[in-house]
Amino acid sequence: MNDLKQQILEGKIFIYPTDTVYGLGCNALDKTSVDKIKHIKGREPNKPLSIIAPSINWINKHCIVDFNLKKYLPGEYTIILKKKDEKFLSHVSSGDSIGVRIPDNDFCDSIRENGIPFITTSVNLAGEKPITQISEVPEIVKNNVDILVDEGKLTGVPSTLIIDGEKIKR
């Protein structure tokens, strides 16, 4: 088993690059790690998080999709979809929908190869601006993660929301 997959399975928490901003993430199936991320960010416990989906097939298996995902994925989009089972990943998103991403980024591709849904939330503290370089990450966040992957300065444009197949302005 490769090191990355082992670290994900162990519930390690990562700061990592996406195709937009730096993210904070972990194995989405590991409730303890997901709760720790919410705590690190100072985020409301019931506020939903999004995931990096392992594949479009995985998304189709777990979500109701009525448009062509390949129009947006991989790419700089977070797509809000209804879950087929409302209880699925309820510790990530307690409602009947979930945000899914497939970032266009090599490191994120490595995460996806493991076949495990992975939390993707911006590494900034709740209410603060997104972070484009590791030097901007607050020490309180750096001190509470296991792995930090630095790919230099990123574009800094947060992902665009897609709801009901349509782009939504943030």
Q: What is the pLDDT of residue 170?
A: 64
Q: What is the pLDDT of residue 32?
A: 97
Q: What is the pLDDT of residue 45?
A: 84
Element (H, E) at 22: strand 22-25
The sign of the CA dihedral 159, 156, 104, 138 is: negative
Q: What is the pLDDT of residue 167?
A: 87
pLDDT one digit per residue (tens) for the chain, 170 residues: 579 999 999 999 999 999 999 999 999 999 999 999 999 998 888 899 999 999 999 999 999 999 999 999 999 999 999 999 999 999 999 999 999 999 999 999 999 999 999 999 999 988 899 999 999 999 999 999 999 999 999 988 888 898 988 888 66
Q: What is the pLDDT of residue 68?
A: 93
Q: What is the pLDDT of residue 166?
A: 85
Burial of 100 (0-12, 13-18, 19+ CB in 10 A): buried
Amino acid at 111: I
Element (H, E) at 112: helix 106-112
DSSP 31: H
Q: Are 147 and 5 in contact (CB under 8 A)?
A: no
Q: What is the DSSP string of 55-89?
A: -HHHHHHHEE--S-GGGTSSSSEEEEEEESSTTTT
CATH 3.90.1170.50 describes domain 3-165: no
Q: What are the structural domain ranges in the chain?
A: 3-165
